[in-house]
Amino acid sequence: MRFPYLWSFLLFSSHHSFEHGFRNYKLLRVLNLDRAPFSCFPPELVDLIHLRYLSLRWTMIRELPESIRKLKYLEILDLKGSTVSSLPSGITQLTCLCQLRHYRYSFQSSLFFPDTHGMRVPSGIGRLTSLQKLGSVEVNEDNESVRELGKLTQLRRLGILKLREEQGMDLCYTLERLKHLTSMYVVSLNKTDFLQLDSITSPPKYLQRLYLKCSLSALPGWIASLQYISKLVLQYSNLKSDPLKALQKLPSLVVLELRQAYAGEELCCDPGGFSKLKKLGLHELERLQRVGIAKGSMPGLERLDITACTVLETVPDGIENLKNIEDLVLWHMPSTFIKTVERSRGEDFWRVQHITTITRIYEGRRRWVSETLL
């Protein structure tokens, strides 16, 4: 109450009460209320007309009022981890917005990887042409909203969730118009929904991070043309052809994760492949039996994660050629595989590679148990 001229107020605790509210802070530009004990939106916030930044992260707020349109200078609205499920139509009048952030995680469909939840946006979201970050948007059956996102041509980061098979073409239409995208997160409504993404002829060429969580009839050819892609996550893709062969020439790829992404029995790459790769994750590839790493491939690999590949017979052939690998992390692997690794611990094979840590993570009676094998 003694500081009416505050421009910034940042809170990072859930142990404060706000019995006096914010009415006296008319000049606030920055208001960070992370984990504040709010169950509903404080109505006086819409009178802080000078706000540029508003964070309601990890609060219990469920909805925003229509009157949020009064915050006409707002540039960043952060709702990450909150329980807001849809945005009011008034949000479309905040034409200064550069960043609109909201997503939260839960573990429902997988033991190992979280499901992502976002927000529904109103019709007219395409008016917010200053937006550079938007995520994550739940589209459900709203085909028009998928195409309307194509109007947001300044977007750098986009998360789009709950896509249906029939919206694949609309998504392609949108992505061809978002020339400045550097990060994209795409999730289908059901993991069995096929998204046809092959019709993209001019993908966002500056993409650095790409997450595709959907079934794919084949790996879209344009992915192999992304010169700046540094992180690629494929989940539920259920590909029939070896994705390592298709991706090994990407010049900037540092992290590659395959999560239920391949239905074949063997993965392999050629000499010289994956020249920049530092982390490789093979997760829940239920039919995978063998992995081959050619000499001269993955020269910079530092970490290999293998999760629930239940019929994989042994560590990858050629792993001894990986001179920079340090960590081998084994999640929920069968006992036969673990015994193979344990038998190899004393061999020169491990010392040559400079592996410093082999970690086994498995499900105990009440929790995940981590055990260091090396």
Amino acid occupying residue 311: V
Tell me if 140 sits within 8 A of 163, measured CB to CB.
no
pLDDT digits (tens, 9 = 90+) for 219-234: 999 999 999 999 999 9
pLDDT digits (tens, 9 = 90+) for 261-298: 999 999 999 999 999 999 999 999 999 999 999 999 99
Other CB atoms within 10 Å distance of the CB of residue 89: 13
What pTM was estimated for this model as a whole? 0.91
Q: What is the DSSP string of 161-202?
A: EEE-GGGHHHHHHHHTT-TT--EEEEEESSTT-B---TT-SS
- pLDDT of 111 over the 70 cut: yes
pLDDT digits (tens, 9 = 90+) for 64-86: 999 999 999 999 999 999 999 99
Nearest to 105 by CA among 87, 84, 80, 77: 80
Q: Give 52's DSSP letter.
A: S
> pLDDT at position 43, please?
92
pLDDT digits (tens, 9 = 90+) for 4-49: 789 999 987 767 666 667 888 889 999 999 998 888 999 999 999 9
> pLDDT at position 11, please?
85
Q: What is the DSSP string of 203-221?
A: --TT--EEEEESB-SS--G
Other CB atoms within 10 Å distance of the CB of residue 286: 12
